[in-house]
Amino acid sequence: MRLNPHSIAKALQTKGKGQMPTDDLYITNDSRKIKQNSLFVAIAGKKTNGTEFIKQAIQKGASAIISNKKLDLGKKIWLLNSEDPQAAYGKLANRARKEWNQNVIGITGSVGKSTIKDLTAAALGTADDVVASPYSFNNEIGLPYSILNAKGTEKYMVLEMGAKNPGDINYLKKIAEPDCAVYSLICNSHAEYLGGIEGVIKEKGSLVSGWGENKTLVISSKNNHHQEISRLSSGAKIVKWGPGEEISSKEVKLDKYGIPNFKIKYKNKIYKVNLRLPGSFQVENSLAALSTAVSFNIDLNDAITRIEKVKPLPHRKEIYAISNDGVLLDDCYNAGVKSTSESIKWASSISAKRPKIMILGDILETGKDEIKMHKKIGKIIKDNKYSEFLTVGNLAKYALEESRISGKHYPTTDDLLDDLKKYDFSAKVTLVKGSRSMQLEKITKKIREIFST
């Protein structure tokens, strides 16, 4: 989405230095995305500082720069100084959102946000009608990026909104100004920083706090945390899905890979749904997405046809056939206690007579009960009769100890990688799960190389 230079100056309350461009500008914080007539926002990241790429951005066609450093870029480059380029990036995204003036749907919760985001985007329309956050771009940089990279011709924008610290959701809310909020499952994800489950509910609920009748809230009828959040909204239209509601599911069946097909009841009519996403919980994710679509008067048959084409995101319940009828379940993008428990049961449901192996990395940011929670996972693995258990990190070892299953603990992912050829994954169901920073995708890649069919 491009912005007029005068709109940019107004949003940032500065005239800038140098020559103001005459054409609308494409705005990005990624120097690799620079094209002619771009505004490059030089944000300081955890690993690199955007100011290091200003010269490269200009060489690639940037005609404007936002930086917190005083620079001499000549008269042809429009320089906008900002003490906080990241905040400036958010202000420009909000300006673009206002000028676009169409429907924004915010997706938040603890587990399943990205999947519900993709299902909701599909349910609402085609790529011409809908733009959605790429991957899991859901923070103070990712959300503005998602807005500013829209074409600006779409009818709907579906934005994932994450929170690690108190105030994160409110910050994103001010940028995106959503018309509709859709909630995934609420649990102890990021509880370490948010103050337990009560803090998680408060933080996630801030998205709808103070909303009136011109806004829409989509929640589960049977989720108590969703009910608590709905009470924070003073008067929004509430759309519920689940038993006893206008839209609900029935006759859920799973194929040999745990991929569900089911029926939906809506206004006394029955609709069939055949997903490509594994896990029985995808039924609830689908109901959330379809409820959102019908709240915008989208034809339900069309919405179902589109969600049936949605595939798993990389490292999120991807299924790979390996040697001797073995199955590798790559679910290592991230992990919480609830999602890990669901994945353990999913692997059990498709194992048939094959032995099951679990490779578990640390589940991080779970708060003061982190050891207790890992022990809980160990018990679930034991109850689901896994035959072998490999763990990685500082906390996963407690799950191994609690499970009393044959296995081994490794301090780092690379340590397990060095030892991986000692294990036989053929003719078995292998589940790989752990928090993002554990980088367990190295393990799934190696297993596929060694045990390819």
pLDDT in tens, 132-161: 999 889 999 999 999 999 999 999 999 999
Which pLDDT belongs to residue 338? 86
Token pair in block for residue 252: 């859920």
Ordered alpha helix ranges (H), 195-295: 196-205, 224-230, 282-295
* pLDDT classification of 87: cutoffs 50, 70, 90: very high
CATH number of 102-307: 3.40.1190.10
For the cut 80, the answer to whether the pLDDT of residue 47 exceeds it is: no
Taking the CB of residue 352, how many other CB atoms lie within 10 A of it? 9
Write out the DSSP string of 93-123. Answer: HHHHHHHH-SEEEEEESSBSHHHHHHHHHHH
pLDDT at 298: 97
Per-residue confidence band for 35, with pLDDT thresholds at 50, 70 and 90: very high
User: Collapsing DSSP states into helix, strand and coil, what is residue 245?
Assistant: coil
Q: Any residues with CB less than 8 A from the CB of 172 and at least 6 apart, and which?
A: 106, 138, 139, 140, 143, 159, 161
> What average pLDDT score do residues 427-441 get?
95
Level-2 CATH architecture, domain 2-85: 3-Layer(aba) Sandwich (3.40)
pLDDT for position 197: 86
Q: Give which of 56, 57, 80 is closest to 70, Cα–Cα.
A: 80
| CA separation for the pair 316, 161 (Å, rounded) | 18
Measuring CA to CA, how many Å separate 136 from each of 74, 159, 334, 437? 38, 9, 11, 14
Q: What are the residue ranges spanned by the domains of the chain?
A: 2-85, 102-307, 318-450
* H or E segment to which residue 277 belongs: none
Residue 46 has pLDDT above 90, yes or no: no
**pLDDT tens digit sequence for 209-256:** 999 999 999 999 988 999 999 988 878 999 999 999 999 999 999 998
**Terminal Cα-to-Cα distance of the chain (whole angstroms):** 44
| Average pLDDT of the residues in 395-405 | 96
Is 182:173 a contact under the CB 8 Å cutoff? Answer: no
**Phi, psi (rounded to 5 degrees) for 317:** 60, 40
Q: What is the predicted pLDDT for the residue at 189?
A: 65
Give bridge partners of residue 320 from the DSSP assignment.
328
Select from 3.40.50.300, 3.40.1180.10, 3.10.20.70, 3.90.190.20 the CATH code of 318-450: 3.90.190.20
Per-residue confidence at 313, pLDDT binned at 50, 70, 90?
A: confident
Contact, 186 vs 201, CB < 8 A? yes
CB of 119 closer than 8 Å to CB of 32: no
Please name the helix (run of DSSP H) or strand (run of DSSP E) that holds residue 81, with its range, or none: strand 78-81
Tens digits of per-residue pLDDT, 99-112? Answer: 999 999 999 999 88
Phi, psi dihedral angles at 240 (to 5 degrees): -110, 145
Which residues in 164-280 belong to E strands, given as ranges?
Answer: 180-183, 216-220, 237-241, 247-254, 260-266, 269-274
* Encoded tokens for 398: 């407690």
Please state, rounded to an integer, the average pLDDT across all residues of the chain: 94
Q: Which residues contact 337 (CB under 8 A, 6 or more apart)?
A: 187, 188, 363, 366, 373, 376, 377
pTM of this structure: 0.87
444-448 CB contacts, 8 Å cutoff, 24+ apart? 444/315, 444/320, 444/328, 444/330, 444/332, 446/417, 446/420, 447/322, 447/328, 447/420, 448/320, 448/322, 448/328
Element counts in the chain: helices (H) and strands (E): 16, 20
Give the tens place of pLDDT for each residue, 264-281.
999 989 999 999 999 888
Contact between residue 39 and residue 89 where contact means Cβ atoms under 8 Å apart: no
The pLDDT-based confidence of 190 (bands split at 50, 70, 90) is low
**Tokens 């206690």, residue?**
337
List the beta strands (DSSP E) in 255-302.
260-266, 269-274
